[in-house]
Homo-oligomer: A and B are copies of this chain.
């Protein structure tokens, strides 16, 4: 793996930059979400419970970082960044439902339906998905035709040929023998599609030219793959306290993963290869893409 060679100080700088961006996202999410004392309060409380429960905020941070790498301003794409996070958050609320993965904990806290009940969890998820598109429509600093393009892309990425398609295949193939093609389909769609959309959203809203959009898309695809393989690895080797959920849940649910299909050593190799390709995709860019480069390393090295 030909990663950036760097001093410990640079790593600290990256973590600081990541935290700073995540804090901007948190503040914006808090501002965009209806206040918990607005009627009907319980709905807004349920939405806030999940969205404001932390998490790495990688998708919105990517929207902002890509917009900057493409010559735009992070502030201008903040509504879109938060929209992507809300879509991610809704998908987790619905995935955790008893009819789906039936998970009791998420990020170390009881899942939404354990606190608010199933009906409210379904509605809070619906509301976050709906609000996400409302926020995308509020990117008034970008050209309207670019906003429309982004909305079409996000809808495709979150829909049946993207995230929901991946979720369906994942849910309905649990316990079955699946092959590498199906595993790739699940990951490319269930998580990869939204990463891809996050990157393209930042680039399109910043008015990136076609060539840059194409290589950033390639970056997104490999970064998403690296992220997913690493997630699979952490489900086996991770520390439950750090990742905020029990380890071994994929095994318990009989889900196919990269380590289960290829063995741990090969899975780690695949993660590094994907990371390398994500970095190679950025060679068109100079320093303005350094944050995106560091992000690759972060995704591979994280222990949470």
Contacts and interface: CB of A to CB of B under 8 A. Distances in A.
B152 A134 contact: yes
Contacts of A47: 160
A136 interface: yes
A42 B164 CA distance: 12
A138 B156 CA distance: 12
A223 B44 CA distance: 29
A164 B129 contact: no
Contacts of A161: 34
Contacts of A97: 119, 122
B94 A160 contact: no
Interface stretch (A168-176, A225-233, A263-271): A168-176
Given A160-B44, A164-B126, A131 B155 contact: yes
A120 B94 CA distance: 11
A172 to B, nearest CB: 7
A99 B127 contact: no
A131 B44 CA distance: 24
Given A99-B117, A137-B148, A168-B120, A130 B131 contact: no
A111 interface: no
Nearest to A139: B148
A153 to B, nearest CB: 9
For this chain, the copies found in one complex come to 2
B118 A99 contact: yes
Nearest to A91: B126
Contacts of A159: 127, 130-131, 134
A40 interface: yes
A214 interface: no
A158 B130 contact: yes
Nearest to A44: B160
Nearest to A146: B144
Nearest to A172: B42
A52 interface: no
Interface in A279-296: none
Interface of A: 34, 39-40, 42-44, 47, 90, 94, 97, 99-100, 117-120, 122-123, 125-127, 129-131, 133-134, 136-138, 143-145, 147-149, 151-152, 154-156, 158-161, 164-165, 167-169, 171-172
10 contacts: A40-B168, A40-B169, A40-B172, A42-B172, A44-B160, A99-B117, A100-B119, A126-B164, A127-B160, A131-B159
Given A40-B160, A127-B159, 17 more contacts: A40-B168, A42-B172, A43-B168, A47-B160, A94-B123, A97-B119, A119-B171, A120-B168, A123-B164, A125-B126, A126-B126, A127-B164, A134-B159, A137-B148, A137-B152, A148-B148, A151-B151
